[in-house]
């Protein structure tokens, strides 16, 4: 693949280049596609949502001194200056691991990290009496095994729609507020953490993509992925004219994914995926970018419900340090049968 193609900037695949054309940047061209995009993840994606995902940047050696707020406004182009200021004021912008003020002058080789809670939703959550699979629970948090096909939150304008938030609200009791540490697309299954209070939520959010909180996924991609392992270093941003679609683009946010082949058959590759950043649809976009979209991913590949009715992506393994007790916790959940059948 020619990395000099316009629109792909500094995208890099290590340790080897991959063949095939990049996928996922074409905007939908009909009303039905736009409608399906709007519903694809239960209304999870909102304008400017990148501010609410982990963002980290290592400042270039040649960077001239610049106010932090101005620097972030230039680098996080999908977020308003007010939202960035909110992040700074709440202590969610760190330089070298320490909170800083907007007036801080960015210097060469600074490591800047932005981590914020997801925006508060105005929609009311109506408890839903549907059983949850809870591999672990203590006084501060729960580890959930999310089923595929369940959105994280209700659709806007439909508080009664089944969602993980409604199921968890029912489990925790009336008046409780679910604090999800991360999100999974509606079609994605597997492990995630819900905090029972704002303090634990904030601590775990800050730990995302650090040695204190690591996640590993299993995915089934179309075709034989070559090379069999590597690192996809390709910035991700919103696709032009799309409601939720993302693509690799030069002005996107830094995005890094490690991958490794576990099994191959005539049609598919079973992969271990380790995201080092947390962009919307990151794993799906990066695999499509390699020319190997996930099986069942109609948004970035092709849809064949006779094979699998959702993107073949599963949050398989989770390591984290309990922020209150300091206990090291580790969980795995088996790959769902629908994904297993693709590899038979």
- Using pLDDT thresholds of 50, 70 and 90, give the confidence band for residue 54: low
Q: Which fold has domain 119-342?
A: Pseudouridine synthase (3.30.2350)
Domain ranges of the chain: 49-114, 119-342
Mean pLDDT of the region 150-162: 71
> Is the pTM value of this prediction over 0.85?
no
Q: Fill in the DSSP letter of residue 153.
A: S
Structurally, at CATH architecture level, domain 49-114 sits in: Roll (3.10)
pLDDT attached to residue 280? 87
Residue of 72 and 38 predicted with greater confidence: 72
Q: Fill in the DSSP letter of residue 24.
A: S
The answer to whether residue 141 scores a pLDDT higher than 70 is: yes
Nearest C-alpha neighbor of 6 from the set 246, 192, 251: 251
8 A C-beta contact, residue 218 and residue 314: yes
The answer to whether residue 188 scores a pLDDT higher than 50 is: yes
User: Length of the chain in residues, anyone?
Assistant: 344
Catalytic residues: 185
Range list of H helices, the chain: 31-39, 68-75, 81-89, 164-172, 198-207, 282-289, 337-342
Q: What is the pLDDT of residues 295-327, one digit of tens each?
A: 999 899 988 888 999 999 999 999 999 999 999
pLDDT attached to residue 22? 42
- Using pLDDT thresholds of 50, 70 and 90, give the confidence band for residue 7: very low
φ/ψ region of 244 (left if φ > 0, alpha if ψ in -120 to 50, else beta) reads: alpha
Nearest C-alpha neighbor of 153 from the set 164, 140, 138: 164
Nearest C-alpha neighbor of 59 from the set 48, 50, 77, 72: 72
């Amino acid at each position: 693949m020619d990395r000099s193609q316009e629109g792909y900037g500094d995208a890099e695949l290590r340790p080897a280049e991959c063949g095939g054309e990049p996928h996922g940047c074409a905007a939908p061209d009909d009303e039905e596609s736009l409608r399906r995009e709007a519903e694809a993840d239960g209304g999870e994606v909102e304008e400017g949502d990148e501010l609410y995902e982990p963002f980290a940047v290592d400042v270039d050696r040649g960077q001239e001194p610049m106010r932090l707020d101005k620097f972030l406004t230039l680098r996080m182009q999908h977020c308003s200056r007010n939202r960035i200021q909110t992040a700074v004021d709440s202590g969610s912008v760190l330089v070298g691991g320490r909170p800083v003020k907007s007036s801080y002058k960015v210097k060469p080789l600074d490591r800047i990290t932005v981590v914020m809670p997801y925006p508060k939703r105005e929609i009311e959550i109506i408890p839903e009496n549907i059983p949850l699979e809870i591999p672990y629970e203590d006084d501060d948090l729960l580890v959930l095994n999310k089923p595929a096909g369940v959105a994280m939150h209700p659709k806007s304008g439909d508080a009664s729609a089944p969602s993980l938030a409604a199921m968890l609200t029912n489990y925790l009791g009336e008046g409780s507020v679910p604090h999800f540490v991360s999100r999974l697309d509606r079609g994605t299954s597997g492990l995630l953490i819900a905090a029972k209070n704002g303090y634990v939520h904030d601590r775990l959010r800050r730990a995302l993509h650090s040695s204190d909180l690591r996640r590993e996924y299993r995915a089934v991609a179309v075709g034989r992925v070559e090379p069999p392992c590597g690192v996809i270093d390709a910035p991700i941003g919103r696709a032009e004219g799309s409601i939720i679609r993302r693509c690799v683009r030069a002005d996107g946010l830094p995005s890094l994914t490690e991958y490794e082949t576990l099994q191959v058959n005539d049609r598919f590759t079973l992969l271990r995926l380790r995201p080092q950043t947390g962009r919307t649809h990151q794993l799906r976009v990066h695999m499509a970018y390699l020319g190997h979209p996930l099986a069942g991913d109609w948004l970035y590949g092709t849809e064949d419900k006779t094979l699998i009715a959702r993107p073949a992506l599963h949050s398989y393994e989770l390591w984290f340090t309990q922020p209150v007790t300091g206990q090291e916790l580790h969980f795995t959940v088996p790959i769902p049968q629908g994904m297993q059948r693709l590899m038979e």
